[in-house]
Chains A and B, each alone.
Chain A
Amino acid sequence: MDNEGVAKTTAIAIVIIIIAAAVIGAYVATRPPVKPPAVFKIAVVSDIGGRGDLSFNDMAFKGGDDAERDFGVEMKEIISMVEADYVPNLRTAALDPDVKLIVGVGFLLTHALIEVAKEFPDKNFVGIDTFTKWVDPQPNLLDVVYEEHKGSALVGALGGLLAAYYDKPYIGGVFGIEIPVLWKFEIGYKWGCDWAMGWIENNKPEMKRGIYNTPRDKRVLYDYTGTFSDITKGYLTAVPMYEKGAVAVYNIAGPLGLGINSAVKDIATRDRLKAGPPFWIGVDANQDWINPGFVIASMMKRVDYGVYYATKLVLENKFREAVAEYGNEIVLGIGTTVLGIPMEGISVSTLADLDEFIKMGVKAEELTGEPVLPGPPEWIKEKVAEMRDNQPAWIWGAVAELESKIRTGAVEVPLAVTENAVKEWRAILG
Chain B
Amino acid sequence: MDVGEFVRLRLSQSMISKLPNLFMGYIRGLKRPLIESAFAIFVGLIVGALIMIIFRHDPIEGYISMLKGYGIFIAKRTFMTREFMFALAFATPYMLTALTFAVGVRAGLFNIGAEGQLYIGAAAASWMAAHVALPSGFHVFAVTVFAMLAGALWAVLPALLKIWKGVHEVISTIMLNWMAFYLVMYLAIYHLRGIWAHITKEALPTARYPVLAGSLTAVIFIALLVCIGVYIFLWRMHPGYELRLVGDNPDAARYAGMSISRAIFLSFIIGGLVAGLAGASLAVRPEKWGFHATLGDLMGYGFAGIGVALVGRNHPIGIIPAAIFFGGLAHSGRFMEFDIRISSELVGAIQGVIIIAMALPGLLALIRRKAK
Contacts and interface: CB of A to CB of B under 8 A. Distances in A.
B292 A19 contact: no
Interface in B282-339: 286-288, 292-294, 296-297, 299-300, 330-331, 333-335, 337-338
B344 interface: yes
A82 B196 contact: no
B174 to A, nearest CB: 15
A111 interface: yes
B215 A418 contact: no
Chain A: interface secondary structure? helix
Nearest to A89: B334
A185 to B, nearest CB: 14
A84 B215 contact: yes
Nearest to A28: B53
B197 A111 contact: no
Given A115-B286, A418-B197, A83 B297 contact: yes
Nearest to A178: B189
B56 interface: yes
A55 to B, nearest CB: 14
A390 interface: no
Interface in A105-121: 107-108, 111-112, 114-115
Given A30-B56, A77-B337, A108 B294 contact: yes
Contacts of A10: 367-368, 370-371
Interface in A25-57: 25-26, 28-32, 43, 47-48, 50-51
A268 interface: no
B70 to A, nearest CB: 13
B59 interface: yes
Contacts of B371: 6-7, 10-11
B89 A78 contact: no
A4 interface: yes
Interface in A65-101: 76-79, 81-85, 87-89, 92-93, 96
B185 A226 contact: yes
A32 B59 CA distance: 12
B115 to A, nearest CB: 13
Nearest to A108: B292
Interface in A182-235: 183, 226, 228
A177 B189 CA distance: 10
B196 A78 contact: no
6 contacts: A10-B368, A10-B371, A48-B296, A78-B334, A78-B344, A180-B198
Interface of A: 3-4, 6-8, 10-11, 14-15, 18-19, 22, 25-26, 28-32, 43, 47-48, 50-51, 76-79, 81-85, 87-89, 92-93, 96, 107-108, 111-112, 114-115, 131, 134, 177-181, 183, 226, 228, 417-419
